[in-house]
């Protein structure tokens, strides 16, 4: 199925906008995304890589003003960085 057909199908499934919610698991599907990217590029990436429907829906709920997103932090401001984890890489 073509990506554009999938996008249209997803819009029919969820025509009403809802609040986005992100979890670490959902955000992890965008770790290898082609940053920087536009909203459409991220949606295409999520569909092509088999990300859960929630990821695609969250991306569709983004304001589309032609913005280019540099990283997941611009989409989910609370995305934890490596500094947020108490993990000492020198020990391993």
Q: Write down the pTM of the prediction.
A: 0.70
Please state, rounded to an integer, the average pLDDT across all residues of the chain.
80
The span from the CA of 15 to the CA of 9, in Å, is: 10
The span from the CA of 27 to the CA of 75, in Å, is: 10
Domain region containing 32? 3-12+20-74
Say what percent of the chain tops pLDDT 70: 67
Per residue in 57-85, pLDDT (tens digit) is: 999 999 888 889 999 999 988 887 666 55
Domain assignment of residue 88, yes or no:
no
H runs (alpha helix) in the chain: 3-13, 24-28, 39-48, 53-60
Which of the four pLDDT bands, split at 50, 70 and 90, describes residue 2? low
How many domains does one find in the chain?
A: 1
CA quadruple 22, 39, 56, 62: dihedral sign? positive
Domain assignment of residue 69, yes or no:
yes
The span from the CA of 92 to the CA of 76, in Å, is: 30
Domain assignment of residue 80, yes or no:
no
């Amino acid at each position: 199925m073509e990506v554009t057909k999938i996008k249209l199908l997803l819009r029919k499934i969820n025509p009403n906008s809802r609040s986005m919610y992100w979890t670490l698991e959902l955000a992890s599907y965008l770790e290898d995304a082609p940053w920087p990217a536009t909203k459409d590029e991220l949606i295409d990436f999520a569909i092509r890589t088999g990300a859960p429907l929630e990821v695609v829906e969250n991306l569709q709920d983004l304001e589309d003003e032609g913005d280019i997103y540099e990283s997941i932090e611009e989409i989910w401001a609370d995305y934890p960085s490596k500094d947020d984890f108490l993990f000492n890489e020198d020990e391993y």
